[in-house]
Amino acid sequence: MGQELTLISADWVVYMILCSDNSLYTGITTDLPRRFRQHCNAKGAKYFRGRQPIKVVYAEDGHNRSAASKREFAIKKLKPSEKILLIASETNKIVKDQKDKL
Contact 56, 29 (CB under 8 A): no
Given a cut of 90, is residue 27 above it in pLDDT? yes
Contact 19, 44 (CB under 8 A): no
Given a cut of 90, is residue 5 above it in pLDDT? no
Neighbours of 22 (CB within 10 A): 9
C-alpha pair distances (Å), 85 with each of 18, 40, 91, 92: 14, 25, 11, 10
Structural domains of the chain, ranges and CATH numbers in brackets: 8-101 (3.40.1440.10)
Given a cut of 60, is residue 45 above it in pLDDT? yes
More confidently predicted of 6 and 75: 75
Neighbours of 13 (CB within 10 A): 24
**pLDDT tens digit sequence for 84-95:** 999 998 888 876
Q: How far apart are CA 95 and CA 58, in angstroms?
A: 8
pLDDT at 100: 55
**pLDDT tens digit sequence for 48-60:** 888 999 999 999 9
C-alpha pair distances (Å), 58 with each of 27, 83: 10, 9
